[in-house]
């Protein structure tokens, strides 16, 4: 792997160099909104009772080294992935088979499916769907051939609330800024250059997807002004990430008025008119109303957000509406880990069903890591053997059908975890081989502290897809499909999970080698 060619990267900095780099990094981050609301462990409720403080987002001091071949591979497969997931989302019959295996053992999936069925029975009135996707990868090196060209393997595909598109653009700009002000010592200047640091377009590109959907919705039929709703969690520490996208939309080529609506306030602040148009009344201007064109979900993906029938009613209320959902329920379900496993099963006919173009299908196939079901099929029984033996389990991660980090079981913990679970519930999980990306050194600035050490990187590539489903199942027309920038997240090499918001990782930008 090429990182061995750079044994002195990143360089050691003396105290003066560290002070210079860090003071610029801290100031630039706040000046440009590379920020999060501080963690409660960092700033207490008593210190900041009104929630006025923002803190530097956890970032790497140096851009991590990333093989250009891998970066290109991940970028080049993005539009094929958009096509694949828009096709899956439009094929209710196919999704139904997968979901039906899960409903009795996974209540959350069961409830989502119920919402879909209710809306289907009264008729779906919005044929347009928007996907702001993110496909996540790690670098894989063939263990049998360390000289082989590295490739990327997919960790997962996100169809709901794909985050960090806002901060990612900023962290690229931060590293470029540090380069431009001579914060990186001369010894690195053959490695970190203007051209080795690609700027991520994610904030603008995701916003432009929302803008295109907003326009495609058409004119307001109610006579009311229109708006885009950012459906959010409350509280939300990662709010500035979302604000960057919001601002890029407000000021973009297709500007839209935007409002942040906490998931818990959907039923209070919106209603459906007789044509199921979604009407939003901002609580601060109760005399004004808006017709909602697009509901962009940055919430609603975790079971903990649904605390009773009212929350499910809220999800149903939005799904029934004429607003374009980003994502709709079928697209949300298409992002489940089970779908990823079914696609990745060797010799599976499914990829061809959705991607008749062989070249595209094989580019996607190349990004799959081995994933197995834990059911009673032949593959499932084999996987059960691997998962219940602590020696073999060491090479795997067990995933439930969840999003947002913190839900997986890793390596040696798998056999013990399965013992606590009734066997009938095992098929609610998938077993995935661990991708073992090469580690490298870097320094993470997190909660005011510098953490030096070995790190590993995860590259996410965003995709925007707008499609229109026809009256027959599976029928669809793709109206927009483009790659929408990227994200690099970096975590300590010893940490299994890597969520920046969940408290383990940092945002980074790639230095292509
Ligand atoms: P979530 O939807 O909760 O983000 P992920 O599948 O992305 O779930 O898993 C969370 C994290 O666990 C990833 O960001 C990655 O750091 C780690 N991880 C998941 N699958 C793998 C894998 N196959 N190999 C290595 N690390 C993995
Ligand atoms: Mg996810
Ligand atoms: Mg993830």
Nearest atom, ligand 1, residue 158 CA: 2
Ligand 1 atom nearest to 369, measured from its CA = 23
Active-site annotation holder among 64, 86, 135, 156? 156
Report the distance separating Cα 42 and Cα 25, nearest Å.
19
Specify the residue with its C-alpha closest to ligand 1, atom 22. Answer: 434
- What token pair was written down for 239? 């709010």
* Nearest alpha carbon to residue 159 among 425, 422, 415, 460: 460
Q: How far apart are the first and last CA of the chain?
A: 10
Encoding tokens for residue 172?
Answer: 């690229």
223: DSSP letter:
S
Active site residue 219: no
Q: Is 144 exposed, middle or buried (0-12, 13-18, 19+ CB in 10 A)?
A: exposed
The two three-digit tokens of residue 163, written as one number? 């985050």
Angle between helices 107-122 and 309-320 (to 10 degrees): 40
Does the annotation mark 404 as catalytic? yes
Give CA torsion, residues 360, 472, 324, 338, to 10 deg.
-50
Is residue 351 within 8 A of residue 361, CB to CB? The reply is yes
Annotated binding residues, written as ranges, equal 134, 156, 158, 160-163, 236-238, 242, 298-301, 337, 399-408, 410, 432-435, 458, 489, 491, 497, 500-501
Closest C-alpha to ligand 1, atom 2: 403
* Ligand 2 center from residue 220 Cα (angstroms): 34
Instruction: Give the Å distance between the CA of 232 and the centre of ligand 1.
Output: 23
DSSP string, 83-134: HHHHHHHT-HHHHHHHHHHHHTT-HHHHHHHHHHHHHHHH-----EEEEEEE
Binding site residues for Mg(2+), as ranges? 156, 158, 403
Which tokens in the block code for residue 244? 């960057």
Question: Residue of the nearest CA to atom 3 in ligand 1?
Answer: 405
Tokens of 370: 């081995």
Task: Find the 335 Cα to ligand 2 centroid distance in Å.
Answer: 8
Per-residue pLDDT of the chain (513 residues; tens, 9 = 90+): 444 568 889 999 999 999 999 999 999 999 999 999 998 888 888 999 999 999 999 999 999 999 999 999 999 999 999 999 999 999 999 999 999 999 999 999 999 999 999 999 999 999 999 999 999 999 999 999 988 999 999 999 999 999 999 999 999 999 999 999 999 999 999 999 999 999 999 999 999 999 999 999 999 999 999 999 999 999 999 999 999 999 999 999 999 999 999 999 999 999 999 999 999 999 999 999 999 999 999 999 999 999 999 999 999 999 999 999 999 999 999 999 999 999 998 778 899 999 999 999 999 999 999 999 999 999 999 999 999 999 999 999 999 999 999 999 999 999 999 999 999 999 999 999 999 999 999 999 999 999 999 999 999 999 999 999 988 888 999 999 999 999 999 999 987 775 665 556 999 999 999
Q: Which helix (H) or strand (E) holds 458?
A: strand 449-469
| Residue of 397, 433, 458 with the most ligand 1 atoms within 8 Å of its CB, for mutation | 397
Ligand 1 shell residues, CB under 6 Å: 136, 138, 155-156, 369, 397, 399, 402-405, 407-408, 432, 434-435, 458, 497-498
Torsion of CA 330, 496, 434, 339, to 10 degrees: -10
Give the model's pLDDT for residue 2: 43
Which ipTM score applies to this complex? 1.00
Ligand 3 centre to CA of 242 (Å) is 17
Task: Respond yes or no: is residue 489 known to be catalytic.
Answer: yes
Active site (annotated) includes residue 186: no
- Annotate 486-511 with DSSP letters as a single string: EEEEEEETT-S---TTTTSEEEE-EE
| 403 classed as catalytic | yes
Nearest-ligand number for the alpha carbon of 405: 1
Q: Which ligand is nearest to the CA of 458?
A: 1
Core vs surface per residue 292-325: b (16+ CB within 10 A) or e: bbbbbbbbbbbeeebeeeebbebbbbbbbbbbbb
Any catalytic annotation for residue 122? no
DSSP helix/strand/coil, 213: helix
Q: What is the pLDDT of residue 315?
A: 98
Distance 401 CA to ligand 2 centre (A): 9
What is the pLDDT, as a whole number, of residue 1?
A: 42
Q: At 67, phi and psi to the nearest 5? A: -65, 130
163 is catalytic: yes
Measured from the alpha carbon of residue 155, the closest ligand is 1
DSSP 33-99: T-EEPPPTTTS-TTT-TT----EEPPEESSPEEE-HHHHHHHHHTHHHHHHHHHHHHT-HHHHHHHH
Q: Catalytic: 472? A: no
The catalytically annotated residue of 29, 89, 90, 163 is 163
Query: In angstroms, what is the span from residue 122 Cα to ligand 2's centroid?
Result: 31
146: exposed, middle or buried (C-beta count within 10 Å: 0-12, 13-18, 19+)?
exposed
For residue 497, report the distance from its CA to the centre of ligand 1, in Å: 6
Ligand nearest to the CA of 495: 1
DSSP-assigned states of every residue in 145-188: -TTSPPEEEEEEEE-S----HHHHHHHHHHHHHHHHTT-S-GGG
Q: Whose CA is nearest to atom 7 of ligand 1?
A: 156
* Eight-state DSSP code of residue 335: T
- Test site for ligand 1: of 156, 302, 401, 496, most ligand atoms within 8 A of the Cβ: 156
Question: By alpha-carbon position, which residue is closest to atom 4 of ligand 1?
Answer: 405
Q: Write the CA distances from 413 to 58, 149, 399, 496, integer angstroms.
A: 28, 32, 12, 11
Active site residue 250: no
**Ligand 3 center to 155 CA (angstroms):** 7
By most ligand atoms within 8 Å of CB, the mutation choice from 155, 335, 496 for ligand 1 is 155
């Amino acid at each position: 792997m090429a990182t061995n060619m750079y044994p002195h990267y990143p360089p050691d900095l003396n105290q003066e160099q560290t002070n210079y780099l860090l003071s610029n990094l801290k100031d630039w981050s706040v000046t440009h909104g590379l920020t999060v609301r501080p963690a409660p462990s960092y700033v207490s409720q008593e210190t900041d009772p009104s929630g006025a403080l923002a803190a530097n987002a956890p970032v790497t001091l140096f851009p991590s080294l990333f093989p250009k071949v891998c970066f290109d591979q991940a970028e080049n497969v993005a539009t094929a992935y958009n096509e694949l997931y828009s096709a899956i989302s439009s094929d209710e019959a196919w999704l139904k088979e997968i979901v039906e295996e899960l409903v009795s053992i996974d209540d959350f999936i069961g409830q989502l499916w119920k919402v879909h069925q209710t809306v289907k029975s009264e008729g779906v009135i919005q044929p347009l769907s928007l996907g702001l996707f993110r496909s996540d990868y790690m670098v894989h090196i063939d263990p049998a051939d360390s000289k082989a060209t590295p490739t990327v393997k997919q960790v997962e595909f996100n169809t709901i609330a794909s985050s960090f598109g806002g901060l990612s653009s900023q962290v690229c700009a931060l590293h470029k800024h540090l380069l431009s002000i001579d914060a990186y010592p001369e010894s690195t200047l053959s490695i970190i250059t203007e051209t080795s640091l690609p700027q991520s377009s994610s904030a603008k590109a995701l916003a432009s997807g929302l803008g295109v959907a907003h326009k495609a919705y058409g004119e307001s039929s109610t006579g009311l002004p229109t708006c885009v709703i950012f459906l959010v969690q409350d509280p939300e520490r990662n709010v500035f990430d979302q604000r960057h996208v919001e601002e890029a939309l407000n000021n973009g080529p297709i500007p839209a008025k935007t409002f942040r609506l906490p998931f818990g306030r959907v039923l209070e602040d919106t209603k459906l008119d007789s044509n199921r148009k979604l009407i939003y009344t901002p609580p601060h201007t109760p005399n004004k109303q808006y017709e909602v064109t697009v509901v962009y979900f940055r919430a609603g993906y975790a079971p903990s957000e649904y605390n009773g029938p009212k929350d499910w009613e809220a999800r149903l209320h939005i799904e029934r509406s004429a607003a374009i959902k980003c994502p709709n329920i079928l697209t949300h379900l298409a992002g489940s880990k089970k779908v990823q496993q079914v696609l990745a099963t060797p010799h599976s006919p499914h990829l061809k069903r959705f991607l008749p173009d062989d070249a595209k299908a094989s580019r996607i196939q190349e990004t799959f890591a081995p994933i197995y079901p834990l059911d009673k099929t032949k593959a499932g029984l084999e996987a059960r053997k691997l998962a219940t033996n602590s020696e073999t389990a060491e090479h795997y991660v067990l995933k439930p059908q969840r999003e947002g980090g913190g839900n997986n079981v890793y390596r040696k913990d798998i056999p013990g975890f399965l013992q606590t679970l009734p066997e009938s519930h095992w098929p609610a999980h998938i077993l995935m081989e661990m991708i073992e990306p090469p580690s490298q050194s870097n320094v993470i600035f997190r909660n005011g502290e510098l953490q030096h050490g070995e790190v590993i990187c995860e590259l996410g590539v965003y995709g925007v897809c707008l499609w229109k489903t026809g009256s027959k199942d599976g029928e669809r027309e793709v109206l927009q499909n483009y790659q929408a920038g990227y994200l690099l997240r970096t975590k300590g090499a010893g940490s299994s999970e890597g969520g920046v918001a969940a408290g383990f990782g940092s945002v980074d930008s790639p230095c292509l080698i």
